[in-house]
Amino acid sequence: MILEKVPKSLRGELSRWMIEPKTGVFVGKVSAMVRDKLWEKCTKKYPKGDFIQIWSANNEQGFSVRAWGRQSKQLIEMEGIVLVKDVFSKL
């Protein structure tokens, strides 16, 4: 997970489940249930925060991703593949 615009207390809560190798970047292996509960906690408790969550999945890319809040990049799904588009791009 990548978190921006959130209080240190939320980062502290997530550090119970994952490591934080860089400020706001959390890495770990959690179950789907824990992953969804962490996502729900972040988005409901801090709706003005910015979040990206990426996890392993059995698909062509090998991962799935979801985002919340104002992102500088937009996630676009095309034919089952997630692409990243610069918000200011005219693609």
Q: Domains in the chain, start-ordered, CATH in brackets?
A: 2-86 (3.30.70.240)
Cα Rg of the chain (Å, integer): 14
Say if residues 32 and 57 touch (Cβ distance below 8 Å): no
How far is residue 38's CA from residue 33's CA, in Å, rounded to a whole number? 9
CA distance 42 to 49: 8
**CA–CA separation, 52 and 42 (whole Å):** 10
Say what the pLDDT of residue 70 is. 86
Phi and psi, residue 38, nearest 5°:
-65, -40
pLDDT class for 73, splitting at 50, 70, 90?
confident
Query: Is pLDDT above 80 for 91?
Result: no
